[in-house]
């Protein structure tokens, strides 16, 4: 059993975890701290036990926030963070750095911000193409030996990179974007994960809000919302994609589910080793997502949904050219 699943069992966690990024990063202005803390407190009270953050999010603000929210609750959760990609205030931009000394320094800083002496799961946030993955994975492995992290993870990597990394040290989880309209892990990564009992942690399982049916006009997104720079959400592509979404919305209505719940139910139907971590700024949406834990789809429904939003029909790449240069995942032709 992957150490991730072992820890989730220890803390009696639901299958669905919580991505905390949205509160501090990428989707417009950060949520005021008091409001964000109330949201995280509510998430814990309603049953979330898997909390995911990163050094990058909010230029370390998200880790500080999560640390405050989970003070006194640390032994009741699976706490995950990521290093190897951080905001450099001098350069005014994010920097990918997978060198062993950087990973150690960032991990120790994360521990301090999160108010803990260890992380249950620590990911290499992005592959540093200047550093052999074996060196980065080896550095994370030494942090395991020292008790600073319990398990090693990778984020947005290919099956080839995963196999090279785990030859150096076991990899407990790979985090990758995975949803009905982003099926890149199905090219090769899922198979590679299953070869060695590695969990696939699915971020953006609601398609960055698209699958909830709430994103209808890119012009209404805040200027600092990262989706403004994503081709699928452009004024040229979004209308086409929204037409494709109509069949999905029909299925949700027929089943008496919200679109977001249907998106999560489809994802959990892909296998027990797939762990969705939807993010939200809304307590009501957090509760709605967690309720999807109890929903099971019939095989015929999964088959029907598989024909919706297929990669060859979705308009636009999932990342801009600049963002795409930072990731190592397989891409559809």
Interval 12-48: pLDDT, tens: 999 999 999 999 999 999 999 999 999 999 999 999 9
How much is the pLDDT for 1? 64
Count the Cβ atoms, other than its own, within 10 Å of residue 98. 24
Is it the case that residue 286 has pLDDT exceeding 90? yes
- Please say if the pLDDT value at position 67 is more than 90: yes
Those residues with Cβ within 8 angstroms of residue 43's Cβ, 6 or more apart along the chain or in another chain? 18, 51, 283, 286
pLDDT 10s digits, 203-224 = 999 999 999 999 999 999 999 9
Mean pLDDT of the chain: 97
Task: State the catalytic residue, choosing from 27, 48, 57, 319.
Answer: 57
Q: Where are the beta strands (DSSP E) in the chain?
A: 18-19, 50-52, 78-83, 85-88, 93-96, 121-124, 152-155, 173-177, 199-203, 274-276
| 152, 171 Cβ separation under 8 angstroms | yes
Diameter over CA atoms, the chain:
54
Cβ pair 244, 251 in contact under 8 A: no
Give the confidence band of 333 by pLDDT, cuts at 50, 70, 90: confident
- Mean pLDDT throughout 131-153? 98
Residue 178: how many CB atoms within 10 A of its CB?
A: 23
Alpha-carbon gap, residue 105 to 113, rounded angstroms? 13
Q: Within 223-317, where are the H helices?
A: 238-255, 259-268, 283-291, 299-306
Instruction: For residues 198 and 153, give the distance between their C-alpha atoms in angstroms, rounded to a whole number.
Output: 9
d(CA 20, CA 50): 10
Tokens 């450099």, residue located: 88
pLDDT tens-digit readout, 154-196: 999 999 999 999 999 999 999 999 999 999 999 999 999 999 9
| 57 carries an active-site annotation | yes
CB atoms closer than 10 angstroms to residue 250: 11
Is-contact 274 202, C-beta < 8 A? Answer: yes
Q: What DSSP line would sit under 106-138, residue for residue?
A: HHHHHHHHHT-S-BSEEEE-S--TTS-HHHHHH
d(CA 288, CA 279): 12
């Amino acid at each position: 059993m992957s150490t991730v699943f072992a820890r989730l069992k220890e803390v009696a966690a639901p299958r669905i975890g919580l991505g905390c990024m949205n509160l501090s990063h990428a989707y417009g202005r950060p949520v005021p701290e008091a409001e964000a803390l109330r949201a995280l407190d509510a998430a814990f009270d309603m049953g979330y036990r898997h909390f995911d953050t990163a050094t990058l999010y909010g230029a370390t603000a998200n880790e500080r926030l999560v640390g405050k929210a989970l003070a006194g609750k640390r032994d009741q959760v699976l706490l995950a963070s990521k290093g190897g990609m951080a905001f450099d205030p001098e350069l005014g931009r994010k920097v990918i750095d997978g060198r062993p000394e950087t990973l150690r320094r960032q991990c120790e800083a994360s521990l301090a911000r999160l108010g803990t002496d260890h992380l249950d799961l620590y990911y290499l946030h992005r592959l540093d193409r200047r550093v052999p993955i074996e060196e980065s994975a080896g550095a994370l492995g030494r942090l395991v030996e020292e008790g600073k992290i319990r398990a090693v993870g990778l984020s947005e990597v290919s099956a080839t990179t995963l196999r090279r990394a785990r030859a150096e040290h076991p990899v407990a989880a790979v985090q990758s974007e995975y949803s009905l309209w982003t099926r890149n892990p199905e090219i090769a990564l899922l198979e590679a994960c299953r070869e060695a009992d590695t969990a696939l942690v699915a971020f953006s399982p609601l398609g960055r809000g698209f699958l909830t049916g709430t994103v209808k006009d890119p012009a209404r997104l805040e200027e600092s919302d990262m989706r403004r720079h994503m081709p699928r959400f452009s004024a040229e592509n979004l209308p086409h994609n929204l037409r494709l979404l109509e069949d999905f919305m029909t299925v949700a209505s027929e089943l008496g589910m919200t679109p977001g719940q249907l998106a999560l139910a489809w994802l959990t139907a892909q296998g027990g080793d797939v762990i969705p971590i939807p993010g939200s700024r809304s307590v009501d949406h957090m509760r709605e997502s967690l309720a999807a834990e109890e929903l099971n789809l019939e095989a015929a429904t999964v088959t029907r949904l598989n024909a919706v939003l297929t990669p060859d029909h979705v308009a636009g790449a999932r990342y801009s050219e600049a963002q795409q240069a930072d990731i190592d995942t397989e891409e559809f032709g």
